[in-house]
Structure formats: C-alpha cells, structure tokens
Amino acid sequence: MGCVFCESSIIKEREIIRNDFAWAFPTNIPIVPGHILVCPIRCIKTIDELRDEELHAIFELVGKLKRALTKVFMAEGFNFAWNEGKIAGQSVPHLHLHVLPRKEGDTGITKYEPRKFIYRPGSREESPEHELKNVAEVIKDQL
C-alpha cells in the first residue's frame, strides 16, 4: 500500500467534508473526542509543497469544522498541529493538520510546553471504527 490516506477505503468512509483541494476525517487514535485531520487531496509530504489554492482550501475547511466542533463537542479552544518529517512525529507521509477541540476538564495535556502539549500521557487505545464513523456523522450534521 502506498499512502493510507489516499488508498484506505476505511478512512474514505470517515470523510466529514471535502472541497476541490482538501478533505477532513477523524483520526483513528484521537487525543480528545472530535480530533480530526485536514489534508490536501494531492498527496504531498510538507507544507512547502502546498499550492496557494490548497492552503486556502485547508483553512476554508478548518473554519467550517471549528464551528461544527464547537457545537458538537462544546469546544472552548483548539489545538492545531502539523507534523513534518519522521523526527517531528509525522507517521503518514501525506501532509495533514491535526484539529483538536479543547474544553475545560480535558484529560491529558494541561500545560502547553511545545514538545509535550499535543500528546496526552499514557497509552492511547485505537477507537472502534463505528465510533469514528459516528464522530464523522455528528460533525457532518453541523456543517
């Protein structure tokens, strides 16, 4: 298999929203409920490879998704993260923006030291597929 984002039918079934140049779906190992990924449709590894229309398309989706995530998960704030390169934690070589809706009482990270804030401590179980599809559906309903 090449790129899991491009080729996995399971991930494609989780799609929340798409425009001409970008799309979004829930990650399979969420840090908090509603943790989603937004990525360009074109398979590229780094932000430097983005065309202007792709960058605009990503942030167009982020704006819509923030409104939906605020309604669905009562988000009071957001974390956004790009991981570029293996050393920076990029495990899928298809550029993607992590969008995490945050609220008072979230478990895990409470201090925002750059090297620690994005990953919650302890083990993270993979979410069952039906839960991920449900997350995608409830967000879709708010778009």
Q: Catalytic: 96? A: yes
The upper half-sphere exposure of residue 67, i.e. CA atoms within 13 Å in the direction of its Cβ, equals 9
Query: Choosing from 35, 94, 96, 98, which is the catalytic residue?
Result: 96
SS3 call for 45: coil
Instruction: Output DSSP code: residue 108.
Output: S
- Count the neighbouring beta carbons within 10 Å of the beta carbon of residue 34: 25
SS3 101: strand
Backbone angles phi, psi at 80, to 5 degrees: -125, 140
The catalytic site residues sit at 96
